[in-house]
Amino acid sequence: MFKVMIRDNMSPVAREILEATGKIEVVEDFDKATNAPERLAEIVGDFHGLALRSGTKVDERVLAAAGNLRAIGRAGIGVDNIDVRAATDKGVVVMNAPGGNTVTTGEHAISLLLALARNIPQGTMSLKKGRWDKKLLTGVEVTGKTLGIMGLGNIGRVVAALARGLRMRVIAADPFVSPEAAEALHVEMVSREELYREADFISLHVPRLKETVNMINAETLAQMKPGVRLVNCSRGDVVDLDALYEALESGQVAGAALDVFPTEPPDPTMPLLQHPRVIFTPHLGASTGEAQVKVAEMIANQMASYLLNDVIVNAVNFPSVSREVMDRIRPYLNLAEKMGALMGQLMTRVFDITLIYSGDVADLETRPLTHAALKGFLGSFTDKPVNYVNARAIAKAKGIKVKEVLSRDRTDYAGTLRIRLEGYEDGPDEIWGTIFGEKYPRIVRFGKIYMDAIPEGHMIILQNIDQPGVIGNVGTMLGKHDINIGRFQLGRLGDRATCMVNIDTPADESTIKDLQALPHMISVEQVHL
């Protein structure tokens, strides 16, 4: 039975979906007092999953206290409130729900743009104070104006479509969108500098990255068209608020509409909050009933799929795969992990790793296979738990360079997975594996020697001079130590041979020493897969 905590007043549909599995216990905690990491750390101990929105903060303290935690589900797009790096190091999958609030946030950006153009909030407040400031609140039309969209992702594309409906010219800056893709959206791609020069309105839809923090600053504001109007429904620290205030005071910026802030809620004494040409909403971009239901549904289904079936969807720290893809790669996933574990247990230090996917395997989603191979390999070199999520991060921390090669060339098999240790010269530096009959894993090459071994359970790996009597001596010695042989596979090349022996019970140190002392024996190693 898995246990999941739901936080931040998430839609009831999340609880319904998780409990409907019959295998997940759900606890709802909507107490804002436990949103702070130090408080959450006190209660998170036995939970396997955390489902939350933006209110709850998850940092290293929470993750350190969450000994059973496997997944964090953010019902929304942004994961600024989650320490993703610490979660990755801990081996915790961090998922979000992109697309669930895309339309809602895009509509809000356009609503703010129109409200900004026509001074609607100021007009409302004027009337509530008994004034009739018609002449003071003259606005501007948006029809025929140029809207510059910074970031043409899912939300940016919704904004573009709505703006075109308002007969605006739409330009966009996004280094990850091709001109061809933009053309299909009837959007003109321009450089950031061109956008600043030409846009009458600018709408921000960029993620929080090192490169985007304070991207709207004194320098970039000065590059903008005089009288520009700015809308921010992305991340609060994308805009330098002090610089924005100065640009408003000088008249360089005619107005701004902000839904997000660097710190939420913002300091009520902040001068910008009192500026007459700035309008605000308290992070309402995704706040519609429809959107909250959608993101709750998405995150609950994703968490259930992972906890119950190891299917990872919309993860920000692991390659996401669908259930269909997972069904295809699962045999190779298990094979990759066992091959990595076999090589790792034979090593006394780490090496750079090259993974070669050949034939039919190259057509699969190979990134999870790389994580699986690293998980197996690194388990012998750290006392820290290694899983699919943190394997790549641990490899990087240990200075291991990981290279992936895709080859459509076939060997003697329809598809193979190969793991090669770069610079290893004290023994076999390469292992090959494949799947027989869609589900039966096999080691088909070890070093330069071909064989047909099943990677499972307790195994003894023997390397010897190819001379008569070696196999008989090995069988006799194992029998002497009361160890039953489940499978014995031999391969040879020239005067060298390699044996992979599956045994029913592990061999103790004395057994290994006695095998090592046999005539013509080069090396004896035991692994467990």
Burial of 265 (0-12, 13-18, 19+ CB in 10 A): exposed
Query: Across-strand partners of 359?
Result: 415
Asked if residue 455 has a cis previous peptide bond (ω within 30° of 0), the answer is no
Q: Is there a catalytic annotation at residue 53?
A: no
Region for 228 from its dihedrals, namely left if φ exceeds 0, alpha if ψ lies in -120 to 50, beta otherwise: beta
At residue 233, what is the residue type? C
In angstroms, the CA 388 to CA 370 distance is 9
283 catalytic? Reply is yes
DSSP 345-389: HH-SS--EEEEEEEEGGGGS--HHHHHHHHHHHHTTS-SS---TT
What is d(CA 508, CA 496) in angstroms, rounded to the nearest whole number? Answer: 26
**Two structure tokens written together for 385:** 């738990």
Query: Is 19 designated active site?
Result: no
Catalytically annotated residue among 205, 235, 418, 445: 235
Instruction: Please choose, from the candidates 375, 409, 407, the residue with its C-alpha nearest in 3D space to the C-alpha of residue 392.
Output: 375
CA 301 to CA 313: how far, in whole Å?
A: 9
Q: String of b and e for 111-133 (b: at least 16 CB within 10 Å)?
A: bbbebbbbbbbbbeebeeeeeee
DSSP 8-state assignment for residue 130: T
Read off the amino acid at residue 395: A
Pairing of strands 146-150, 440-446: unpaired
Distance of alpha carbon 69 from alpha carbon 40, whole angstroms:
13
Residue 257 near residue 227 (C-beta atoms within 8 A):
no
Q: Which residue is catalytic, options 16, 42, 193, 264?
A: 264
Rounded to an integer, what distance in angstroms lies between the CA atom of residue 514 and that of residue 516? 5
Contact assessment for residue 503 and residue 486, using Cβ atoms and an 8 Å cutoff: yes
Q: Do the Cβ atoms of 276 and 256 come closer than 8 Å?
A: no
> Catalytic pick from 118, 283, 330, 492?
283
Catalytically active residues, by annotation:
235, 264, 283
